[in-house]
């Protein structure tokens, strides 16, 4: 029995279903311009794997992928979803081996995704009364090794 028969088949989302999911999440409240936030846009049709739009307010042309980690990538959207969903479980090398892509391509997706998380995260601002429980305060040298000066 060959070892390749023992390797489990990867679950990589179908490209069309992945794009439908992305559209559903991104445009949940309707398609709007990423620059001026206007809902006055019209569909210019499909180009490649994504839909193209034009804004009537500011004239911007954009697609489903504009302003996302999926923009300007040659990897299929389904495979990018697979990479993102497995970043915490698998190394970049393992993901690149599984998908059959160069390490650099998978690393770039992982790096840009992590960077986008850092850009969007903000430190919480605490207001009003704040209570902190179980604070540890060092009150001496108990438990520390003492140096003998003999």
Supply the pLDDT for residue 41: 93
Q: Are the CB atoms for 99 and 83 separated by under 8 Å?
A: yes
Q: Percentage of the chain surpassing pLDDT 90?
A: 30
Supply the pLDDT for residue 5: 44
Q: Are the CB atoms for 57 and 63 separated by under 8 Å?
A: no
* Three-state SS at 50: strand
Mean pLDDT confidence for 18-23: 89
Q: Which comes out higher in pLDDT, residue 146 or 38?
A: 38
Instruction: Report the distance separating Cα 64 and Cα 86, nearest Å.
Output: 23
Supply the pLDDT for residue 69: 86
């Amino acid at each position: 029995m060959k070892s390749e028969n023992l390797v489990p088949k990867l679950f990589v989302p179908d490209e069309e279903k992945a794009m439908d999911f992305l559209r559903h999440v991104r445009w949940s409240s309707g398609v709007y311009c990423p620059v001026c936030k206007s809902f006055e846009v019209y569909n210019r049709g499909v180009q490649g794997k994504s839909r193209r739009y034009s804004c009537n307010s500011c004239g911007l042309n954009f697609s489903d992928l504009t302003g996302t980690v999926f923009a300007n990538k040659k990897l299929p959207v389904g495979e990018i979803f697979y990479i993102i969903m497995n970043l915490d479980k698998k190394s970049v090398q393992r993901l690149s081996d599984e998908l059959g892509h160069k390490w650099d391509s998978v690393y770039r997706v992982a790096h840009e995704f992590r960077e986008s998380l850092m850009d969007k995260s903000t430190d919480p601002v605490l207001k009003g009364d704040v209570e902190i429980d179980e604070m540890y305060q060092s009150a001496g040298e108990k438990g520390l090794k003492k140096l003998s000066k003999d």
